[in-house]
Amino acid sequence: MKKSDYLEKANFRTLIEAGGKDRIQDRLNILGVFLETEEHITLEEMFHLLREKGYDFEPRFVKQCLNRMVDLGFAQKKQFEGQPIRYEHRHLGKHHDHLICTKCGKIVEFADETMETLQVEIAARSGFHMLQHSMDIYGLCSQCLSQRTLLMPLTMAKEGERVVIREIAGGRRKQARLTDMGLRPGDLIEIINNAGRGRIILARGPTRLAIGRGIAEKIMVSISDQDADI
């Protein structure tokens, strides 16, 4: 066990004993397993880790312990868009932000002192004293990005992406309908909302458009050169 983990367990014991909690050793065992991972884990993943260590605690008790760890400052509870609630180790005096892949769900922590300083300066220019902040950047990780085809139907584009219309399949009537809407091969569009069902909301310049999924399947696009270089 790392010295820092030993100190945190001792600190946790002191706080929960002072709070009159029962099952002290069980709570310490759950904390110990939690401290061994630096991942952003779900409640189900925590159950799996505990079972691997030979523990068989009731789910309600484990959830209660995790939430108590959040209350006492040993863990942080996070809910990224489209994902279940996750818990991560809270390191005192340290701050980090997150990159979240919208395809595979991968979460990457990052810290940048220049960015931190800039945020403080921006707040100060408005006479604002910043107490806390978080930054979650959503996109595609390098592995998921490399797996994407060069040409794909509009239905596969992710929210926030800018794509270029390359081809419009289907008969003349469908092509004429899209032309009437102002969509032509070569146009740059931004995906506003693509929830996987219902119409896709996109923007072409200052105009927002709603496209049915059937016709969106006929529109072949590629990621714009500007986004591909990021």
What are the residues facing 89 on neighbouring strands?
75
pLDDT tens, 91-106?
A: 888 888 999 988 788 8
Q: What is the CATH number of domain 3-89?
A: 1.10.10.10
- Arithmetic mean of pLDDT, 142-170: 83
Are 56 and 13 contacting, i.e. CB atoms less than 8 angstroms apart?
Answer: no
* Domain 148-228 class in CATH: mainly beta
Give the span between the Cα atoms of 95 and 30, in whole angstroms: 24
10-23 in b/e burial notation, b at 16+ Cβ within 10 A?
eebbeebeeeeeee
Asked which of 15-19, 50-54, 190-194 is least confident by mean pLDDT, the reply is 15-19
* Domain 97-145 class in CATH: alpha beta
pLDDT value, residue 60:
95
Domain range list for the chain: 3-89, 97-145, 148-228
Give the span between the Cα atoms of 213 and 200, in whole angstroms: 7
SS3 223: strand
Q: Is the pTM of this model over 0.85?
A: no
Number of CB atoms found within 10 A of residue 224's CB: 15
Give the span between the Cα atoms of 150 and 137, in whole angstroms: 23
Q: What is the chain's alpha carbon radius of gyration, rounded to the nearest angstrom?
A: 24
Q: Is the per-residue pLDDT at 229 higher than 80?
A: no
pLDDT tens, 162-187?
A: 999 988 876 777 778 888 888 888 99
- Strands, E assignment, the chain: 75-78, 86-89, 97-101, 107-110, 136-139, 152-153, 162-168, 188-193, 200-204, 207-211, 219-223
pLDDT value, residue 3:
67
